[in-house]
Amino acid sequence: MARLSVSYGGGKRFMAEVRGHRIECDQREKGGGQDSAPEPFDLFVASHAMCMMLFAQIFLERNELSTEGLSLDVEYEMADHPRRLGKVHGILHVPNAELGKRAKGVVRSALACPVHHSIREDTEITLELAR
């Protein structure tokens, strides 16, 4: 089983140690923090976005398509009762690859990432390819 440890850094700051890497989080000032690092929820959404990017990159590489300029812009919003991720919308930019019939494949691959599959079924997550 994979492991990580989280330590308290004072105020609203926390540090996670994962495989020798340190990840920090803090709350915004309005939440009682100093805004010295992303909030935990921001890291969650960033983790999801980076996972989708990894799977898109793997798809492009396997199909011998360019990954130059590959990027993903994400917007997200919260839902209530319980407070959670409510909606995610991503725009995948693949500016230097002629996708043709493989356009749907790169989106399908990105949405196959394990972080995506770990999110509740009632969370609406969409991804579109930048044109």
Residues 29 and 53 in one domain: no
Dihedral sign from CA coordinates of 90, 67, 52, 106? positive
pLDDT value of position 117: 87
Distance of alpha carbon 116 from alpha carbon 113, whole angstroms: 5
DSSP 123: S
How confident is the model over 33-87, as pLDDT tens digits? 999 999 999 999 999 999 999 999 999 999 999 999 999 999 999 999 988 899 9
Residues 98 and 59 in one domain: yes
Residues 17 and 55 in one domain: no
How confident is the model over 18-44, as pLDDT tens digits? 999 999 999 999 999 999 999 999 999
Q: How many distinct structural domains can be found in the chain?
A: 2
| Closest alpha carbon to 125 in 78, 89, 75, 96 | 89
Residues 74 and 106 in one domain: yes
Is residue 123 over pLDDT 80? no
Identify the domain containing residue 115 by its residue range: 40-129
pLDDT value of position 125: 82
pTM for the whole structure = 0.89
Residues 31 and 44 in one domain: no
